[in-house]
Amino acid sequence: MRRKFQDKQSQPLESQEPKAVVPPPSTMHHSNSKKVTPSHGHYLPQLCRPILWYLLLAFVLLTFLHYYKQAPTSNLPVLSTMPSISRTAICLVGGARRFELTGPTILEHVLNVLPEADLFVHSNLDENTFKLALLRSAPRVTEMRIRRPVRFRETEGHMRLLSAGSSPNGIQGLLQYFDLVEGCLNMIAAYETQGNFTYDWILRTRVDGYWTGPLDLKAFKTDSYVVPEGSRYGGLNDRLGIGNRSISDVALSRLSLLPNLASAGFSDLNSESAFHAQLKVFNIPAEELQFPFCILSDRQYKYPPSGDIAPVASIASPGPLSGAKCRPCVPHCKGECIEKLGPEKWLGWTEWRNGSLELCDGSQPWQEGWEDFFDKVAGKVTADMRLKVKEMTTEVCLQEMTGLKRKAGRWNGPDPIEICNLGSTTE
């Protein structure tokens, strides 16, 4: 309408000429009167211009309504079932042993899916820490905390409450892991206090997670804590978790809430059963969903797997693997072979039906030539990043780690030069 008003105020000079005198109707219809014809160069533009504007506006409106009706419903937000995830913190915890393989997939399928989320990284310092330099490509890095490993005192209470059998490093390994998880929660809480705000959501995942597909945003549930299905081992899969702020406060307090579990009468707990007990004590419902990721592991397991022995999946498995242990390997068992193993009787297995699971022989080290197999399955981008880390010199490492330090809102760890000197980089 504003454009129409401007057009009336700035008509061409042609329209400013004196109007022709039109005889009264009585004289126009007189048989002897001279018929007067309006000038086409004067009257038609003035009469047609408003009509053309109305037609244009109608066309735009009809086009919009047509698109709105035809647009796929999957592209339209459904407020009743899809909560807002605008203020989200991502907790990335664990050691960086194989981060040259998992890092690119975390960047693509988790961090880039939530580009506005704040990333908090909590990891132990070791010879693999330099690989975290890949996070320089992350959309946002709010805080990096790289701590020097500390040994926790194992009390009699810890001995009664926790089981050492399922952890490669015994009870000490469980305490270290619980502290990494809760330490990330403390980082988030400190940042909230500084900014005088509260996150709506916290997503917690692991540095050693290998993702084969994007994180599904429908996994954000307001009334439950979402975990991957399978790999329960007597409790709940604790290799990824998504929850609102209040629920996450309980779910991620893995170390400080151990006395609560002891007081409730629990004992002989592994990581998964301790996590399940923790949610149960505080009446937090858990919801299991499928996720397209697995945990890349160098650990060796008995083969063929049975009972509570963890299966080791090939990263080539169609999946989703929902956090099962995995490695790059030419599958040793799939299809009918897996059905003959009788996995429906086993404890904590991931989904295996319909050919979704292909097994490696986990009793041996990684296969010779696994790099070629990995590159073929993972794709060129991930393969290139693997080679970049493998061939990284100390000079390039220093440049990348310094760039990551500058990008991070907070840097709580050694200087990049110490990290790169400690790392297995080439000269």
> What is the per-residue pLDDT for 309?
78
Q: Residue 295: exposed, middle, or buried by beta-carbon count in 10 A (0-12, 13-18, 19+)? A: buried
Give the residue-averaged pLDDT of 358-364.
Answer: 94
Q: What is the tens place of the pLDDT at every residue in 300-351?
A: 998 888 767 788 999 999 989 999 999 999 999 998 888 887 666 555 667 7
Q: What is the tens place of the pLDDT at every residue in 40-60?
A: 444 445 555 666 666 667 666
pTM for the model stands at 0.79
CB 271 within 8 A of CB 167: yes
412 backbone dihedrals φ, ψ, rounded to 5°? -120, 85
> What is the per-residue pLDDT for 70?
39
Q: What is the tens place of the pLDDT at every residue in 165-190?
A: 778 889 999 999 999 999 999 999 99
> What is the per-residue pLDDT for 345?
53
Per-residue pLDDT band at 80 (split at 50, 70, 90):
very low
> What is the per-residue pLDDT for 14?
40
> What is the per-residue pLDDT for 323?
95
- Two tokens, residue 11: 């008509």
Instruction: Output the CA angle 400-403-408, nearest 5 degrees.
Output: 125
Per-residue pLDDT band at 109 (split at 50, 70, 90):
very high
| Residue-wise DSSP of 353-404 | GGGT--B--TTSPPPTTHHHHHHHHH-HHHHHHHHHHHT-BHHHHHHHHHHH
Q: What is the tens place of the pLDDT at every residue in 125-147?
A: 999 999 999 999 999 999 999 99
Percent of the chain with pLDDT over 70: 77
Q: What is the tens place of the pLDDT at every residue in 220-257?
A: 999 999 999 988 988 999 999 999 999 999 999 999 99
Give the residue-averaged pLDDT of 369-394.
Answer: 96
Q: What is the tens place of the pLDDT at every residue in 81-100?
A: 445 667 999 999 999 999 99
Q: Which residue has the higher pLDDT, 427 or 204?
A: 204
> What is the per-residue pLDDT for 344?
60
> What is the per-residue pLDDT for 97?
93
Chain mean pLDDT for the chain: 84
CA dist., res. 403 & res. 407, Å (int): 6
> What is the per-residue pLDDT for 31?
41
Q: What is the tens place of the pLDDT at every residue in 268-299?
A: 999 999 999 999 999 999 999 999 999 999 99
Instruction: Output the CA angle 211-216-219, nearest 5 degrees.
Output: 115
> What is the per-residue pLDDT for 24?
44
Contacts of 35 (CB under 8 A, 6+ apart): 28
